């Protein structure tokens, strides 16, 4: 009996004690990075898609290009065979929102994400192998956050004919890229941005009556050096409004991007990106 | 058996009633939260929110105790790589040492308000200023602290003179060196306040880990 109570006590102690000083997990164990392409061989000069596949340990998350109230953006720096080529645009699929206690909102990814870019195969002899690489940085968080980086590479042979590969994976993630504003298939055609205070704004989207859009979510992308604070979404009827403040307020009037995601009537999650000019301050 | 059942049934009824009450409370909380967020907590030029918190050694500190002095508030979390980097670089401890007339208070909010863990950290990093415990997040919410580090400066009149980041480099790698050309906003603001001028950049973008408010 006595042994039992000691055992019980120990178990309790173990359960309650926080793992202070316990070895922190390594970033590389939490996020596995791999460079993939949608081709296994490519014709010189032809475009194809490169993708960094990030596999994230369950319950942990990494961040979108704007992390929200906390965190750091995930970055990818491409290293292409033609080192003089400009960096291709990094394409982020629709992020998800993490609501943390105390109104701390994060934007990013759980489980898995494929960050892609369209690149061009260099000129060269068929059969010659070309090396593509990427340097990835990320912050991976659960209760604690750990900064991580990975250097990944992939050799792709040049060939007379392009050979597709990894089609299912690339199609799945490319289908989750946001659409540009005005895309024919997008239920949201345009957005409005209104200035309601010194640094307070309201962004609004509307959709045709009768179209049932669900789970409308806003992912604001503030100008560099500025952050979005006190973001509040109100959706109802056929409109959704995001109220927010820019802190600090950028000195020069700039444009700001908004990604708005929604679930369409077929149950598919979609997203549209809007570029809006920041309106001038209200006259006093 | 029947005797046993009665209390169980009573307990179940109680539990249901309690959870209904909780749910109701939660709804109200949500409304309050929305209001609070819309009103945006602490504001530059306005009276800094009052607080009374205990430090890791049990001593009580109120903002009012330091009336007439410049007070720096630093939201801290020893497990956050952004915080670790600035302690590896001695950013905070050097600034506190450099500004002897300034009261420096670190605040650990929510899940990070763990006196033992903070004591270990304070010892390791030679932190001589108080580290306050804010387990319920009342101070954190009053100031709108969302990140670690999140920095605030209260001027001699008790008004908020600065809020935002420690500097302009969003780096989360604990061992990353100080980048050339880094602008330390807190250093700049303290220098300006010491010379009697107003803070030129009173608000900047804070960066770091999220403050670990309790659910």
Checking if the pLDDT of A16 tops 90, the result is no
Interval B66-112: pLDDT, tens: 999 999 999 999 999 999 999 999 999 999 999 999 999 999 999 99
Per-residue pLDDT band at A22 (split at 50, 70, 90):
low
B32 and B137 together in one domain:
no
B83 and B186 together in one domain:
yes
Interval A122-147: pLDDT, tens: 999 888 999 999 999 999 999 889 99
Give A226's contacts in chain B (Cβ within 8 Å).
205
B174/A147 touch (CB, cutoff 8 Å), yes or no: yes
Ranges of CATH 2.60.40.1230 domains, chain A: 179-277
**B150 within some domain:** yes
A20/B117 touch (CB, cutoff 8 Å), yes or no: yes
Q: Does A100 touch chain B (CB under 8 A)?
A: yes
Comparing A92 with A13, which gets the higher pLDDT? A92
Domain total in chain B: 2
- Closest C-alpha to A98, from A107, A86, A110: A107
How many CB atoms neighbour CB A172 within 10 A? 13
B10 and B111 together in one domain:
no
| CA dihedral for B54, B56, B57, B63, sign (positive or negative) | negative
Per-residue pLDDT band at A14 (split at 50, 70, 90):
very low
- What CATH number did the domain enclosing B149 receive? 3.40.30.10
Per-residue pLDDT band at B13 (split at 50, 70, 90):
very low
**pLDDT confidence of residue A126:** 87
Comparing B23 with B158, which gets the higher pLDDT? B158
Per-residue pLDDT band at A280 (split at 50, 70, 90):
confident
Comparing B191 with A209, which gets the higher pLDDT? B191
Total CB pairs under 8 A between chain A and B? 93
Identify from A16, A70, A197, A242 which residue to disrupt to test chain B contact, counting B C-beta atoms within 10 A and taking the largest count. A70
B16 and B71 together in one domain:
no
B146/A18 touch (CB, cutoff 8 Å), yes or no: no
**pLDDT confidence of residue A184:** 84
**B215 within some domain:** no
- For residue B8 the two structure tokens come to 């169980």
B69 and B144 together in one domain:
yes
Per-residue pLDDT band at B7 (split at 50, 70, 90):
very low
B50 and B136 together in one domain:
yes
B159 and B203 together in one domain:
yes
Give B174's contacts in chain A (Cβ within 8 Å).
147
**pLDDT confidence of residue A21:** 46
Nearest CB to A230; choose among B40, B206, B214: B40
B80 and B7 together in one domain:
no
B137 and B75 together in one domain:
yes
**pLDDT confidence of residue B169:** 95
B210/A71 touch (CB, cutoff 8 Å), yes or no: yes
A147/B172 touch (CB, cutoff 8 Å), yes or no: yes
Three-state secondary structure readout of chain B: CHHHHHHHHHHHHHHHHHHHHHHHHHHHHHHHHHHHHHHCCCCCCCECCCCEEEECCCCEEEHHHHCCCCEEEEECCCCCHHHHHHHHCCHHHHHHHHCCCCEEEEEEEHHHCCHHHHHHHHHHCCCCCCEEEECCCHHHHHHCCCEECCEEEECCCCEEEEEECCECCCCCCCCCCCCCCCCEHHHHHHHHHHCCCCCCCCECCCCEEECCCCC
A54-68, A159-173, B24-38, B198-212: range with lowest mean pLDDT:
B24-38
Nearest CB to B211; choose among A18, A24, A104: A104
A45-59, B10-24, B43-57, B104-118: range with lowest mean pLDDT:
B10-24
Interval B101-138: pLDDT, tens: 999 999 999 999 999 999 999 999 999 999 999 999 99
| Domain A179-277 grouped into CATH 2.60.40.420 | no
B29 and B128 together in one domain:
no
Interval A192-247: pLDDT, tens: 999 999 889 999 999 988 888 999 999 999 998 899 988 999 999 999 999 999 98
B12 and B67 together in one domain:
no
**pLDDT confidence of residue B41:** 72
A23-174 CATH fold = Immunoglobulin-like (2.60.40)
- Closest C-alpha to A147, from A268, A260, A30: A30
Range of B185's domain? 43-210
**pLDDT confidence of residue A214:** 93
Q: What are phi and psi for residue A166, nearest 5 degrees?
A: 50, 35
Task: Provide residues of B within 8 Å CB-CB of chain A.
Answer: 33-34, 37-38, 40, 79-82, 109-111, 114, 116-117, 120, 137, 140-141, 144, 146-147, 164, 168, 170, 172-174, 201, 203-215
**B52 within some domain:** yes
Per-residue pLDDT band at A25 (split at 50, 70, 90):
confident
For residue A222, the chain B residue with the least C-alpha distance is: B205
Per-residue pLDDT band at A77 (split at 50, 70, 90):
very high
Average pLDDT, chain B: 86
A103/B33 touch (CB, cutoff 8 Å), yes or no: yes
How many CB atoms neighbour CB A259 within 10 A? 22
> How far does A21 lie from chain B, in Å, by closest CA?
8
Give A146's contacts in chain B (Cβ within 8 Å).
81
Nearest CB to A102; choose among B82, B141, B204: B141
Interval B193-212: pLDDT, tens: 999 999 999 999 999 999 99
**pLDDT confidence of residue B4:** 47
Strand partners, A61: A110, A141
Ranges of CATH 2.60.40.1250 domains, chain A: 23-174
Using CA atoms, how far apart are residues A26 and A148, in angstroms rounded to an integer?
A: 8
Using CA atoms, how far apart are residues B73 and A30, in angstroms rounded to an integer?
A: 33
């Amino acid at each position: 009996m006595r042994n039992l109570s000691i055992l019980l006590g120990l178990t309790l102690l173990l359960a309650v004690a926080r793992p202070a000083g316990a070895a922190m997990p390594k970033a590389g164990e939490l996020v596995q990075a791999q460079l993939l392409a949608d081709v296994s061989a490519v014709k010189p000069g032809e475009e194809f898609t490169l993708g960094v596949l990030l596999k994230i340990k369950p319950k942990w998350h990494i961040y979108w290009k704007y992390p929200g109230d906390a965190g750091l953006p995930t970055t990818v720096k491409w290293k292409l065979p033609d080192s003089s080529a400009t960096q291709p645009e990094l394409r982020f699929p629709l992020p998800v929102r993490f609501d943390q206690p105390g109104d701390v909102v994060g934007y990013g990814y759980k489980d898995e994400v494929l960050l892609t870019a369209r690149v061009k195969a260099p000129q060269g002899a068929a059969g010659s192998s070309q090396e593509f690489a990427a340097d990835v940085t990320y912050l991976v968080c659960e209760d604690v956050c750990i900064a991580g980086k990975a250097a990944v590479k992939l050799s792709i042979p040049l060939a007379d004919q392009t050979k597709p590969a990894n089609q299912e994976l690339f199609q799945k993630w490319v289908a989750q890229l946001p659409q540009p504003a005005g895309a024919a298939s997008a239920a949201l055609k345009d957005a409005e941005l209104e200035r309601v205070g010194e640094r307070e704004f309201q962004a609004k989207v509307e959709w045709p009556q009768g179209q049932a859009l669900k789970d409308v979510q806003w992912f604001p992308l503030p100008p560099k050096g500025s952050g979005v604070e006190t973001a509040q979404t109100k959706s109802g009827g056929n409109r959704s409004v995001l109220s927010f403040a820019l802190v600090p307020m950028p000195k020069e009037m700039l444009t700001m991007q908004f990604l708005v995601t929604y679930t369409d009537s077929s149950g598919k999650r979609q997203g549209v990106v809007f570029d809006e000019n920041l309106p001038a301050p209200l006259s006093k | 058996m029947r005797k046993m059942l009665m209390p169980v049934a009573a307990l179940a009824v109680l539990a249901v009633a309690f959870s209904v009450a909780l749910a109701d409370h939660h709804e109200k909380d949500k409304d309050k939260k929305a209001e609070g967020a819309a009103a945006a907590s602490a504001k530059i030029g306005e009276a800094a929110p009052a607080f009374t918190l205990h430090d890791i050694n049990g001593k009580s500190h109120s903002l009012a105790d330091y009336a007439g002095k410049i007070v720096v508030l630093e939201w801290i979390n020893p497990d956050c790589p952004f915080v670790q980097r600035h302690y590896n670089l001695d950013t905070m401890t050097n600034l506190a040492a450099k500004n002897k007339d300034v009261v420096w208070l670190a605040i650990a909010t929510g899940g990070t308000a763990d006196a033992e863990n903070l004591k270990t950290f304070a010892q390791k990093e030679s932190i001589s200023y108080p580290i306050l415990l804010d387990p319920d997040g009342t101070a954190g919410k009053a100031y709108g602290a969302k990140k670690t580090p999140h920095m605030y400066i209260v001027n001699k009149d008790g008004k908020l003179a600065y809020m935002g980041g420690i500097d302009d480099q969003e780096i989360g790698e604990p061992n990353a060196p100080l980048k050339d050309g880094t602008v330390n906003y807190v250093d700049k603001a303290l220098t300006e306040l010491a010379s009697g001028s107003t803070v030129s950049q009173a608000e900047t973008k804070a960066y770091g880990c999220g403050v670990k408010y309790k659910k």
